[in-house]
Amino acid sequence: MSHSLFELTGRVAAVIGGGSGIGEAVAHGLHAAGAIVTVFDNRGDAATRVAAALGAESGPAEPGRFDDAPTAATLDIRDADAVERGLEDLYRRQARLDIVVCTPSINVRKRIVEYSGDEFDRVVAVNLKGSFNVLRAAGRIMTAQGRGSIVIFSSIRSQVVEQGQSVYAMTKAGIVQLVRTGAAEFGQFGVRVNAVAPGVVETPLTAPIKAQADWYNAYADKSAMKRWARADEMVGPTLFLASDAASYVTGSVLFADGGWTAVDGRYSPPGM
């Protein structure tokens, strides 16, 4: 297979949630593959920090080539109008929008009977409504231009659950159906929509688990690879879906979970 299938030189990419964790790693990966990256995050200082780091990796800019420099912007995906404005502004500046990656999510770990209405609304507003806002805004631009790739992050929790994961799992399952519907509606316009479903990844979101050794080790043992993922291990799956290597892939969920959803049970029979 030609290496050029994975080339993203000159492609315009928006990484939403790019200020930390998986989004930050993806921003670096897209930039290294040649994409022109704008980092969006609800923390503007974090987005600026990542964009500056990308710019430093590029070395001195060529005279008159400012449009290729990584940029940053503050964006709260719960605000539908702000999402529309942010992506439209990027499209106007670059006259194209090729890749949109959406990574943000939050979780409140509580049993169903203990969940408050405000907590429910908060998780749904970010994970599900926010993802919808991004898909809709990106879809409007990309269907009009006749091309593009949208990648939204789901989770293993779209398929398997544990106690305390009700609302988070619900939203991640909803993202799968959202992606499939986007693929069905946008495909005729040359726009692909896919999801990446990570397992347990070392990010700020999972820091409270990592801080508890028994919990951390139990999660490591559940995967076939007996370890957590690094954030940078989500870059390859994302770049594949964003690139021409996945030109006939849409409506799919790519599980990058170290075999978590493939392995049934936690016990190895004797002699195994």
Per-residue tens of pLDDT for the chain, all 272 residues: 446 889 999 999 999 999 999 999 999 999 999 999 999 999 999 999 999 999 987 755 544 444 689 999 999 999 999 999 999 999 999 999 999 999 999 999 999 999 999 999 999 999 999 999 999 999 999 999 999 999 999 999 999 999 999 999 999 999 999 999 999 999 999 999 999 999 999 887 777 888 888 888 888 888 899 999 999 999 999 999 999 999 999 999 999 999 999 988 666 667 66
Cβ contact 221:198 at 8 Å: no
Give, to the nearest 10 degrees, the angle between helix 21-32 and helix 235-242: 50
For residue 104, give every residue at least 6 positions away whose Cβ sits within 8 Å of its Cβ, in sequence order, or none: 16, 17, 23, 42, 77, 126, 127, 130
Per annotation, catalytic residue among 91, 115, 168, 267: 168
Q: What's the token pair of residue 97?
A: 């929008």
Q: What's the token pair of residue 36?
A: 């022109």
Taking the C-alpha atoms of residue 101 and residue 135, their distance in angstroms, rounded to an integer, is 10
For residue 217, give every residue at least 6 positions away whose Cβ sits within 8 Å of its Cβ, in sequence order, or none: none
The residue among 103, 110, 104 whose CA lies nearest residue 126 is: 104
Positive or negative, the Cα torsion across 230, 236, 242, 247? negative
The pLDDT assigned to 227 comes to 92
> Would residue 267 show up in a list of annotated catalytic residues for this protein?
no
Cβ contact 55:69 at 8 Å: yes
Taking the C-alpha atoms of residue 97 and residue 116, their distance in angstroms, rounded to an integer, is 39
Cβ contact 25:31 at 8 Å: no
- Structure pTM? 0.92
Taking the C-alpha atoms of residue 87 and residue 81, their distance in angstroms, rounded to an integer, is 10
Q: Strand pairing of 99-102 and 71-74?
A: unpaired
The pLDDT assigned to 209 comes to 83
Centre a 10 Å sphere on the Cβ of residue 131 and count the other Cβ atoms it contains: 27
The CATH architecture annotation of domain 3-256 reads: 3-Layer(aba) Sandwich (3.40)
Taking the C-alpha atoms of residue 132 and residue 112, their distance in angstroms, rounded to an integer, is 24
